[in-house]
């Protein structure tokens, strides 16, 4: 909120009719905009996403926690906004 930037997109994966699905916070930098098809793409194999750190829709992580942030960015190979050059 302080920077006015989007840090993460939350994606759902698996389950059926909303039951048993797993949620994932994906760093915004891991997404690529496909303007032709008007969508964002995440270049991660299904098997890797299945083992990605996720959470339940009723128990969200503390996304301000620096250790959680470091783990998510390490998994997707991105850097937190605090480490990116200011524009």
The pLDDT, as a whole number, for residue 37 is 94
Using DSSP, state whether 50 is helix, strand or coil: helix
Q: Convert the pLDDT of each residue in 25-38 to its tens digit.
A: 999 999 999 999 99
pLDDT tens readout for residues 14-67: 666 666 678 999 999 999 999 999 999 998 888 888 888 989 888 999 988 999
Nearest Cα residue to 75 out of 35, 39, 43, 48: 48
- The single residue listed with the structure tokens 């098997």 is 47
Please choose, from the candidates 77, 55, 79, the residue with its C-alpha nearest in 3D space to the C-alpha of residue 7: 79
User: Would you say residue 1 has pLDDT above 60?
Assistant: no
pLDDT for the residue numbered 74: 94
- Rounded to 10 degrees, the C-alpha dihedral 80/4/33/84 comes to -30
Amino acid 51: pLDDT: 86
Residue 2 has a pLDDT of 58
Q: In Å, how far are 11, 32, 36, 80 from 84, measured between CA atoms?
A: 23, 17, 27, 7
How high is the pLDDT of residue 84? 65
């Amino acid at each position: 909120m302080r920077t006015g930037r989007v840090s993460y997109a939350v994606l759902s994966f698996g389950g059926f009719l909303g039951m048993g699905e797993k949620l994932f916070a994906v760093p915004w930098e891991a997404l690529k905009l496909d303007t032709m098809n008007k969508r964002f793409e995440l270049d991660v194999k299904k098997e890797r996403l299945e083992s990605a750190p996720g959470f339940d829709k009723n128990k969200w992580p503390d996304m301000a926690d620096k250790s959680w942030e470091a783990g998510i960015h390490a998994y997707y190979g991105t850097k937190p906004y605090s480490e990116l050059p200011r524009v």
